[in-house]
Amino acid sequence: MKALHKLLAGTILVALAAFGLTALTSSSINSSDTRVLGFLNETCDSEYLILFQNMIDLVNFNGTVMYGVTWTFKSYINVSDYEFTDKPKCNLMSDFLKLPEVRVVKPKPKIIPADPPPGGGGGGGGGGKKPPEKQKPKVEFDSQNARELKNCIANKLDKLTLKKAEEVVKEKHLGCFVKLGMNLEFKKTNFTWGASQLDQKGIPNPIWGQTIYTNTVADSPIPNNSVFLYPVVIKKKVNTRTWKRKGVTFDNLSEFAALEEIVHTIQGHNAKKANSSWKNPEPYELRDWQIQANIVANVWYKQLKGNKNSPVSMYTPNMIDKHRDSKCNLDENGDFLKNKNKYIEYVKQLKNKNLSETERADIEGKKGELVTYFNNELFELQNDLSGSFDKAEKLECSKKEKRP
């Protein structure tokens, strides 16, 4: 579960409920379904969009700054048109109240309702009609469920006397994990949790959860220090033939996914220096962070579930020890350490303000090649069904445990 990837541009759909700013007064909308989708570009296919109850709400919200995005809409689609035609009209905001220019969206975008990114926002909140039936997510697990699951797990862990990895797992299965000091102490962290109904079609090795420390995507509405669970991806995984035959449930895997993200938030908390801003892990740190998250999540899952094994396999010593020598240090002659040192040197060189544009571009290019190398090393860590999985019941969460 590669929860530390940078947020991919174009993968999150922002679909906010109507804000109820005004009543519909324009006679230019003649459909009984008055809802509209507002886009940030002129071709109705922008990275982010908002669902409004009517056109007047869209106009009144136009120009609002929220989640770090200035919502200046340049085009819109009538939901009634989108729902009942294969080629919905893309209307220009500049032509509003005039005869709109017809633009055909090819291909027709798939609208996947998602909770608003966590962290709050302006407007009057929900209200208005529900999305059409076919827009409903296939998994009844939303941001509130994600927050309650996290709270429940964190509160239960906080009450347990947690054992270390070597007390739960045989040492021969841990490789260099203990010697590298990768055991982790549990602590509660202040991250904002949510769920996205993104199905991640076309993305290799779809992730089940994601922790975002400092958002690096331009104009993204996703706040820093955020965690997302992907319930559609989780459900698809447990419905595959092998996982289904083994008896893995949505609850089993979502609980493990939440545990792994909790570990990632603790990693970020531990790496953050006092009175400093949040900092994303360096590319060469990602592999160890993911190894740590996988093993600690397995260990904590076992203790939470009455000694039942997690549905997700724990990384093998071969994965843990790759690039390391017999003393568990990075191999001096290995590519990983050489590339790590090169990367650090390139970062240092880029701080030189006297570099020419050509020199800077050359160094940035070499640095980018190393990022690809480290990402490939991260992607190599594959999660699979645990051969020793022993089905466990869903965590029982009291109302008190569901609160922070």
pLDDT, tens digit, 9 for 90 and up, residues 236-267: 999 999 999 999 999 999 999 999 999 999 99
DSSP annotation string for 235-284: HHHHTSHHHHHHT--HHHHHHHHHHHHHHHHHHHHHHSPTT----PPPGG
Q: Which of residues 110 and 275 earns the better pLDDT score?
A: 275
Q: SS in 3 state form for 84-146? A: HCCCCECEEHHHCCCCCCCCECCCCCCCCCCCCCCCCCCCCCCCCCCCCHHHCCCCCCCHHHH
Q: Which of residues 128 and 212 earns the better pLDDT score?
A: 212
Amino acid letter for position 193: W
First to last CA, the chain: 25
Query: Binning pLDDT at 50, 70 and 90, where does residue 84 land?
Result: low
This prediction has a pTM of 0.68
Q: Which of residues 58 and 310 earns the better pLDDT score?
A: 310
Percent of the chain with pLDDT over 70: 74
DSSP assigned state of 27? T
DSSP annotation string for 206-229: --SEEEESS--STT--PPSSEEEE
pLDDT of residue 288: 96
Q: What is the mean pLDDT of the chain?
A: 78
Q: Which of residues 69 and 34 earns the better pLDDT score?
A: 34
Backbone angles phi, psi at 230, to 5 degrees: -115, 85
Half-sphere exposure (CA, 13 Å, Cβ side) for 275?
Answer: 0
pLDDT of residue 187: 96
Q: Which residues contact 98 (CB under 8 A, 6 or more apart)?
A: none
pLDDT of residue 18: 23
Q: Which two tokens stand for residue 112?
A: 């996947």
Query: Binning pLDDT at 50, 70 and 90, where does residue 183 land?
Result: very high
